[in-house]
Structure 1
Amino acid sequence: MNDVRVVAFDCDGVLFDTVEANRAYYNHILAHFGHPAMDEHQLRYVHIHTVQQCVAHLFADDADRQAAMAFRASIDYGKFLKYLTIEPHLKALLDWMRNRYKTAIATNRTDTMERLLREFGLVDQFDLVVTSRDVERPKPFPDPLFKILSRFGVEPRQAVFVGDSEVDEATARAAGVPFIAYRNPALEANWHIESLEEIKGFLQGSGTA
């Protein structure tokens, strides 16, 4: 992997453990409209899709969806940050990559991404952040990774994408970018890792498939 110049990361499940934050956030919206809390299938869905897709998935009626989106816009996301935890070894990895690689985020989050990075002191750690608002077609389409490749003027083989879901796998495949699967051995990937600190070894050429 000596030719790699750009390392791109998914957000949820890779940079942060967001399961409980997502649960609390969407259950808060559901409760406001008198709906029951999410089941595990719905929780998995909201982990990997855009907020528009998630609301559409949770609210079958079109009028309810519109009302839910309007209510969602009024929510202060800050109250849910206490449910988030940063992934182990992330800050050390980003510090090591600084001045060695370009770093980017490709996420299906929308207007919560900037707040999240600011709260955890990571705003200056990434050279580019691509949310679902920044592309015409969000993940699993390749557009977020294409935007990253274009920004840094690199070929797909000169980048890697670190993700944890089927959506991330499909995005990397569609873009032709080598994929590192994080803590999900069921995914088809070029490499599998259980800890972010393993990425350093891969980038230095010592990682194993």
Structure 2
Amino acid sequence: MSRLIERIRAAAFDLDGTLVDTAPDLALAANTMLELLGYSPLARLKIEALIGEGIERLVEGALIESIDRVAGPAALAVAHSQFRRVYAARLFDRSRVYPGVMAGLQSLKAEGIPLCCVTNKETAFTSPLLDAAKLSRFFAFVLCADHAEERKPRPDLLLAASARFQVEPTEMLYVGDSPVDVAAARAAGCLIAAVDYGYADLGRLAKERPDWIIGGVDELVALPVEPRSTNVEA
């Protein structure tokens, strides 16, 4: 049976919810921000649902969930400042690399597949987080939200990644955990494998019909070419 890695010439990876479980530190930063502003903290699951579209969306969403209204520009500016200060100091206190990630990345590198990280996180947080997680060494480059005019689900970042690898988008695999990742890959023309352990509801993720739904990054090296999505019901 032919393997997927015999068809692709490069692979790109989402960060939050795919490579690293960052929810514990994001939740701590968000709730610390809310408490500093005099608002009620949120359950972790509510914050997990806000992860994936960048810090701005997370902060805005946390405020809406906590105070049940859209915050004004001045309040948002203060909230963003508080969140960034707290999160920058605790990027990898409670966050952990998911099982299978290290082994999976090592296997792909051993097969000669060049790798990169493509995330809606900003460079100021992404670079030190990847360093702390000991993942930077696997990636030829990292593209973040501040590297393109439009972040995911628009295709800009993935198109930029394939261009840097000098491959066609159809020759690059993207690995993510959310409908946002699936939409970005589809828009760019990339193949898409979705992990089943991230922050998205699995039923909703399956409805987006990624090419494959996998249980770990370490499955990629042996993944068959034939698309293997799941029939999980919402």
TM-score, with normalisation over the residues of structure 2? 0.81
2:86 pairs with 1:75: yes
Shift of 1:57: 2.6
Structure 1 match to 2:162: 149
Q: 1:102 aligns with which of 104, 114, 120?
A: 114
Q: Within 2, Cα distance between the matches of 1:37 and 1:76?
A: 15
Q: Deviations over 1:161-203 (max 9, x none)?
A: 111111111111111111101104624111111122111112x
Contact 1:169 1:179 in 2 (8 A): yes
Shift of 1:157: 1.6
Which letter does structure 1 place at the counterpart of 2:99?
P
SS of the residue 1:8 aligns to: strand
* Structure 2 portions without partners, runs of 5+: 64-70, 197-201, 229-234
Contact 1:30 1:37 in 2 (8 A): yes
Structure 2 match to 1:190: 211
2:62 pairs with 1:25: no
Structure 1 match to 2:231: none
Q: Within 2, Cα distance between the matches of 1:121 and 1:94?
A: 12
Equivalenced residue count is 207
Q: Within 1, Cα distance between the matches of 2:22 and 2:153?
A: 19
Q: Within 2, Cα distance between the matches of 1:4 and 1:79?
A: 36
Q: Within 2, Cα distance between the matches of 1:148 and 1:176?
A: 12
Shift of 1:74: 2.9
Q: Within 1, Cα distance between the matches of 2:109 and 2:91?
A: 29
Which letter does structure 1 place at the counterpart of 2:83?
R
Q: Within 2, Cα distance between the matches of 1:168 and 1:206?
A: 20
SS of the residue 1:104 aligns to: strand
Contact 2:91 2:129 in 1 (8 A): no
Q: 2:184 aligns with which of 147, 171, 178?
A: 171
* Structure 1 portions without partners, runs of 5+: none
Contact 2:7 2:225 in 1 (8 A): no
Q: Within 2, Cα distance between the matches of 1:29 and 1:19?
A: 15
SS of the residue 1:82 aligns to: coil
Identity of aligned residues (%): 26
Q: Within 2, Cα distance between the matches of 1:132 and 1:20?
A: 21
Q: Within 2, Cα distance between the matches of 1:160 and 1:48?
A: 19
SS of the residue 2:92 aligns to: helix
2:27 pairs with 1:8: no
Which letter does structure 2 place at the counterpart of 1:117?
L
Structure 1 match to 2:100: 89
Q: Deviations over 1:120-147 (max 9, x none)?
A: 2222210111110111100111111011
* C-alpha spacing 1:47/1:89, structure 2 compared with 1 (3 Å): same
SS of the residue 2:152 aligns to: coil
SS of the residue 2:121 aligns to: coil
Shift of 1:47: 1.2
TM-score, with normalisation over the residues of structure 1? 0.90
Contact 2:101 2:216 in 1 (8 A): no
Contact 1:146 1:175 in 2 (8 A): yes
